[in-house]
Amino acid sequence: MSRRTVASIFSGLAVLVSACSPVTSTAALVDDLPLGDDGWYGMAMQRPLAMPNLVLTDTEGETYDLRVETAERPTLLFFGFASCPDICPVHLAVLAQAMEQATIDSDEIAVVFVSTDPERDTPELMGQYLANFNPGFVGLTGDIELVKVAMRALELPEPTYTEPDENGFYTVGHPSAVIAFDRDGQARRLYPFGTRRAHWVNDLPLLIEGDAR
């Protein structure tokens, strides 16, 4: 698959939606993200978008101001939920493995996972969930209306929710891409579902070096 083909598939953030199910996901999957002529696997945003003004609660129960806490650090932002059966754990696991392989920690690049399911995703649950991947990952939960405002600011579709089954279980449709922000808090690169460890290992040092444009 050529990079132009991939870019046409993901020409708008609004199409990057994961409708998670207990078995699989209907999210678009990139089988092999091609290396761009610029040396990046992550796709350049058509135009930069500012880090949203979002204040939620972290896994320690403390207030977390996204702009303040990630200032002057490249940041990877992902919206999802802890009960997600496929997209979220795959993204988080691959990213954690890549950071370990590239010997990069959360002091160098922030990884922030924002819940689209705050009814179930308590700070404690988010902490337990993210500890399975990397204890340095930041988990945020709180008012879903604030989350929706942040998603709209990033031109992302709002989450959708299925009807609960007989056991009360439901799934959440959410954007399936990870957004990379530079040190100035500008969204510069997009990583769709299917981004592999090798892709991250290539791009993470570039993000830290600060040339995400």
Instruction: Return the SS3 of 148.
Output: helix
Per the listing, tokens 């802890």 go with 82
Per the listing, tokens 């998603």 go with 151
pLDDT per residue over 154-212, tens digit each?
999 999 999 999 998 999 999 999 999 999 999 999 999 999 999 999 999 999 998 65
Which has the minimum average pLDDT: 15-24, 106-115, 147-156? 15-24
* Short-list 61, 202, 47, CA closest to 127: 61
Q: How many C-beta atoms surround the C-beta of residue 171 within 10 A?
A: 23
Number of domains in the chain: 1
pTM value is 0.86
State the residue range of the domain holding 188: 3-209
The token duo for 145 is: 């209306």
* DSSP state for residue 162 in the 8-state scheme: P
pLDDT per residue over 156-170, tens digit each?
999 999 999 999 899
**CATH classification at residue 62:** 3.40.30.10
